[in-house]
Amino acid sequence: MAKISLIVNGNPVNANVDPRTLLVQFLRENLRLTGTHVGCDTSQCGACVVHLDGRAVKSCTTLAVMADGHEVKTIEGLAADGAPLHPMQEAFREHHGLQCGFCTPGMIMTAVDLVHRRGHDLSDHVIREELEGNLCRCTGYQNIVESIAAGAKAMAKSDLA
């Protein structure tokens, strides 16, 4: 077993884990943060995307021990419980950017990272290219792209990062 200490959604977390625990398993099973999903489990689909030190990564292909000493943000960390949704979440709701919803947490975490890197004015082309690592099996990409474009603009006016 290995002792790890990290920050998850702003809160310090200490745990004793088997080194082969994946970050996504640790988040879901140890911390009960089940918003992060396991889709393909092979780093293709992006349902497991979280932010590690502010950058989007696939938590199914990261060991929890590798996150020791680092900061993780999941979909649950975007907005406080009961508070208004994060502007990217709100944009997905408003523009119907989901059907079954399974890919949505990963889509939103990828989208927020995209805005951090490439700004608030995103063309459809850029959004589609950047979604390369996120699959929606309902194939609702049209509305996902619209949601991200709108969410990116809304984030410019929001206090939530």
Partner 1 sequence: MYEFKYHRPETVRQAANLLVKNEDSKLIAGGHTLIPVMKQRLASPPHLVDLSHIEGLDTIEMKGRALAVGATAKHADVADSAIVGEAIPALAELAGMIGDPAVRHKGTIGGSLANNDPTADYPAACLALGATIITNKRRHKAEEFFQGLFSTALESDEIITRVMFPLPKKAAYVKFRNQASRYALVGVFVAKRPSDVRVAVTGAGGNGVFRVTSFEEALKKRFSHKALDGMTVPADGLNSDLHGSAEYRAHLIGVLARRAVEAASAKA
Q: Does residue 2 touch partner 1 according to CB under 8 A?
A: yes
**Residue 18 interacting with partner 1 (CB under 8 A):** yes
Q: Which is nearer to partner 1, 2 or 94 (CB)?
A: 2
Regarding 110 and contact with partner 1 (CB under 8 A), the answer is: yes
Q: Identify any residues that bridge with 72 across adjacent strands, giving them in sequence order.
A: 8, 52
In the block, tokens 């092979």 appear at 42
Query: Please, which residue, 94 or 102, has the CB nearer to partner 1?
Result: 102
Interaction between residue 130 and partner 1 (CB under 8 A): yes
Please tell me whether residue 61 binds partner 1 under the rule CB under 8 A.
yes
The one among 6, 57, 115, 122 contacting partner 1 by CB under 8 A: 57
Q: Which of 118, 120, 127, 107 is nearest to 154 (CA)?
A: 120
Instruction: Determine if 30 is a binding residue for partner 1 (CB under 8 A).
Output: no
User: Which of 11, 14, 16, 42 lies at the binding interface for partner 1 (CB under 8 A)?
Assistant: 42
Considering only residues 10, 16, 132, 159, which one is a binding residue for partner 1 as defined by CB under 8 A? 132
DSSP the chain: -EEEEEEETTEEEEEEE-TT-BHHHIIIIIS--TTS--SSSSSSS-TTEEEETTEEEEGGGSBGGGGTTSEEE-GGGSS-TTSPPPHHHHHHHHTT--SS-SSHHHHHHHHHHHHHHH-S---HHHHHHHGGG---TT--HHHHHHHHHHHHHHHHT-S--
Q: Is 63 in the site for partner 1 (CB under 8 A)?
A: yes
Which residues contact partner 1 by CB under 8 A? Answer: 2, 18-20, 22, 41-44, 46, 49, 52, 55-58, 61-63, 65-66, 68-69, 110, 113-114, 117, 130, 132-134
